Amino acid sequence: MTESQFGATVPDDGFQVAADLLPDGLVVADARGRVTVFNTAAAALTGVDRSAALGKQYDGLLPLRDDDGHDWWKCTDPYGGLPSRTRQPARLLRLGLDGPQLDVSARYVRSRRAGPLQQLVITLRDGASRARWERSRADLVSTVAHELRSPLTSVKGFTATLLTKWDKFTDEQRQAILRTVEYDADVLTRLIGDLLDVSRIESGRLELRRSVVDVGRLAHRLVAGRVAAGDDADRFEIAVHGELPDLWLDSDKVEQILANLVDNAVRHGDGKISIVVEPSAEVGDTGEAGVSVSVSDAGEGIPAELAPSVFTRFWRGNHRRGNTGLGLYIVKGLVEAHRGTIALGRSAAGGAMFRFSLPAGSPPYL
């Protein structure tokens, strides 16, 4: 450690070189609030040269303000505030009144518990990505609230009507109302299940339980279940071409992928629904052989300009009733969890065709 011309203790060159390798901006102030470390990323984010930054007071160098224009350093008072504090969580702040928006967090380094502040460690990131994330989160909360409110309002309304006017309805009318309540309850259950899947996918907590999977047999079982539930058997056709390799996949997740794609075809497509299973010599950039599955219908298809949106959250096209808009987003997440790929195209009959490919994988114990 050396003394700068401003009287601040400056780390040696080795520490500064290491700090410059960090992708985030790093600013360190000493016990007197003078800046001792100012890395390359911090200089790029703030537009301040390192030579001009070293030795300056931290609050003068970084005049951070919140959305209401309040001085963040006066609000948090790192050197004079409660000595029990150890950090300030990340938040969006503006550099000056009209400067760039930064994602800022701070760490308080003390020599002992509740002792005086020895170092103030500030990390800086470009605020644009966090701002987008916060907008996305707000949009998600708003959309989920709306999606939950619609069926809940229906359930509440119908049950209140039954409770107050039970004797005025015939048995047939009561059954019709109860069927509507059951339908809306199923919508809620489906939405909550989909939201849990979305949470696992986005947080990276999705676990794959691999075993040998016969994708052709899964497709046949899925269609048999739909036919037993009332779908027309003549509407489905399944073809398995070639000899498939041993596929070490998560059977439940693959069945969920197929179920969502078939359900999408049934709801939004017309005519015959075709499921084709065939071997794939190489899946994506994995270099592994695997399986490719296409699910297509004979409907109008999806316009090319809408294709980039179909795998986003809450995309439902023109079909809203009973559709959470999360099915295709979940499908993409499950496919990518297997290191696979999925694409939207047009079937020979003119409808939509979703084709996904999964690498064969390996036993979990290898």
For each of the domains in the chain, give its residue range(s) and CATH number, in order of start: 2-127 (3.30.450.20), 131-203 (1.10.287.130), 210-359 (3.30.565.10)
**8 Å CB contact between 352 and 299:** yes
What CA–CA distance (Å, rounded) separates 200 from 197? 5
pLDDT tens-digit profile of 235-264?
A: 999 999 999 999 999 999 999 999 999 988
pLDDT of residue 32: 94
Reading the block at residue 334, the tokens are: 């499950």
* pTM metric for this prediction: 0.60
Instruction: Name the strands in the sheet holding 273-280, side by side, starting at the edge strand that comes first in the sequence.
Output: 236-240, 273-280, 290-296, 352-359, 341-346
What CA–CA distance (Å, rounded) separates 147 from 154? 12
What b-and-e string marks burial along 47-80, b requiring 16 or more CB atoms within 10 Å of the CB?
Answer: ebeeeebbbbebbebbebbeeeeeebbeeeebbe
pLDDT of residue 106: 95
The runs of H, that is alpha helices, within 231-356 are: 251-268, 327-337
Q: Can you tell me which residue has the tokens 């990505």?
A: 129
pLDDT of residue 8: 47
Question: Which segments of the chain have a pLDDT < 70?
Answer: 1-14, 316-324, 365-366
pLDDT of residue 9: 52
Sign of CA dihedral 194, 207, 353, 309: positive
